[in-house]
């Protein structure tokens, strides 16, 4: 693998900013990714625009292996002027370099090294950082029934692969009360803020009813009231849920729906629910074993695997029953932070590993 060529391709992607919420910027980025992929793979992708968001898909023959990535980033347009593209002492920097434009470069170079792409599909989405609202169906459709999905999200610390990811649920709990003058007749009101306080404490206890510390149910953003001298008639709290298993996700959903108002006259409304299913370790076990064998055959250091709390589109591929291995992308750190970076010397080895994995699955190698 030619590192100089990979870095030139990485620069091309990084300097085209692609903030998730800016659909025009995402469309421009898709054009750059598509041109790079066409040059490397010898074929143009499908442009799949869903609700204004541009996704790309390459399909070669009857797919058996899916390579999955995203080209959107969390960085607002203009970040490049403050965090410019650079490569200094073997470290590449720039918005989105680690999460996950280096992974896209590795996809294209890994596939270019194969003698045939028959059986390969590549999906590059444009809204992963937002929770994939427009691409979820594409991801599930592309992964269903395949032998493997390789997700090019960045690696965990030290280059570890991501062998399990927690599922995610998002809720908004809304409390309705009754407004009244806080000074003249507060007793005639139903204080939604006080009811919300009861509910936040109740929500905070849900995780303990599910498992021993693996599930987290976290009240986050909250709001109540309209003025300082009015009993609040409405209050709300956002709730972030992370679960290790489908059963835990279902149990949390059941307990969230079982919440009841404590103050007479107050009413609750629960919005939201499961967003991403968990990627359980069983989904990645065989592919991780295959990766360990491939790394050994390539003379690379032994691979490690970790379970992480953050979700990715790999949750969706695993959720439809496709064996999934994640974290095959860049080695580095600082995702979503000013110190985001990629260790460039690791890119050729990771690319060779991906190429070998795809070839093994296509050849029917059984771990």
Distance CA 70, CA 89 (A): 27
Active-site residue (options: 72, 313, 326, 340): 72
Q: Answer yes or no: 247 catalytic.
A: no
Q: Yes or no: say if 330 and 350 are a contact pair by the CB < 8 Å rule.
A: yes
On the question of a cis peptide bond just before residue 100, with omega within 30 degrees of 0, the verdict is: yes
Q: Which of 292, 295, 317 is nearest to 137 (CA)?
A: 317
Q: Yes or no: say if 247 and 227 are a contact pair by the CB < 8 Å rule.
A: no
**Beta-ladder partners of 67:** 122, 150
Q: Tell me whether residue 96 is exposed, middle or buried, using C-beta atoms within 10 angstroms of its C-beta: 0 to 12, 13 to 18, 19 or more.
A: buried
**Beta-ladder partners of 273:** 170
Active-site residue (options: 17, 128, 340, 346): 128
Residue with tokens 């596939």: 111
Within 8 A by CB and 6+ apart from 30, the residues are 47, 54, 55, 56, 71, 124, 126
Distance CA 104, CA 67 (A): 9
Q: Yes or no: say if 47 and 30 are a contact pair by the CB < 8 Å rule.
A: yes
Calculate Rg over the CA atoms of the chain.
Answer: 23
Tokens at residue 49, please?
Answer: 């625009």
**Beta-ladder partners of 219:** 239
Q: Answer yes or no: 128 catalytic.
A: yes
Q: What residues are labeled active site? A: 72, 128
């Amino acid at each position: 693998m030619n590192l100089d060529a990979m870095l030139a391709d990485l620069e091309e992607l990084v300097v085209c900013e692609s903030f998730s919420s800016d659909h025009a910027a995402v469309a421009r980025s898709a054009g750059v990714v598509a041109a790079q992929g066409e040059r490397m793979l010898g074929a143009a992708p499908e442009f799949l625009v869903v609700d204004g968001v541009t996704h790309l898909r390459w399909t070669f023959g009857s797919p058996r292996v899916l390579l999955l990535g995203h080209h959107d980033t969390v960085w607002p347009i203009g970040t490049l002027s403050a965090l410019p593209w650079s490569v200094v002492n073997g470290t590449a920097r720039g918005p989105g370099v680690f999460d996950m434009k280096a992974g896209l470069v590795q996809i294209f170079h890994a596939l270019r090294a194969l003698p045939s792409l028959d059986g390969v599909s590549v999906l590059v989405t444009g809204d992963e950082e937002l929770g994939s609202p427009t691409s979820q169906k594409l991801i599930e459709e592309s992964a269903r029934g395949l032998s493997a999905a390789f997700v090019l999200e960045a690696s965990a610390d030290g280059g570890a692969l991501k062998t399990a990811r927690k599922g995610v649920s998002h809720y908004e709990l809304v409390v309705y009360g009754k407004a009244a003058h806080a000074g003249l007749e507060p007793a005639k009101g139903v204080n939604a803020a006080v009811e919300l306080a009861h509910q936040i404490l109740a929500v905070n206890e849900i995780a303990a009813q599910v498992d021993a510390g693996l599930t987290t149910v976290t009240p986050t953003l909250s709001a109540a009231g309209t003025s300082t001298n009015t009993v609040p008639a409405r209050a709300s709290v956002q709730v972030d849920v992370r679960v290790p298993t489908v059963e835990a996700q279902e149990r949390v959903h059941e307990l969230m729906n079982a919440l009841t108002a404590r103050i007479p006259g107050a009413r609750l409304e629960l919005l939201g629910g499961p967003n991403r299913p968990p990627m359980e370790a069983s989904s990645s076990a065989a592919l991780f074993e295959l990766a360990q064998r491939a790394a050994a055959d390539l003379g690379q250091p032994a691979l490690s695997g970790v379970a992480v709390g953050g979700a990715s589109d790999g949750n969706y591929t695993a959720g439809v029953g496709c064996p999934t291995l994640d974290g095959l992308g860049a080695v580095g750190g600082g995702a979503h932070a000013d110190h985001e970076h990629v260790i460039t010397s690791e890119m050729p080895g990771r690319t060779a590993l991906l190429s070998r994995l795809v070839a093994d699955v296509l050849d029917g190698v059984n771990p």
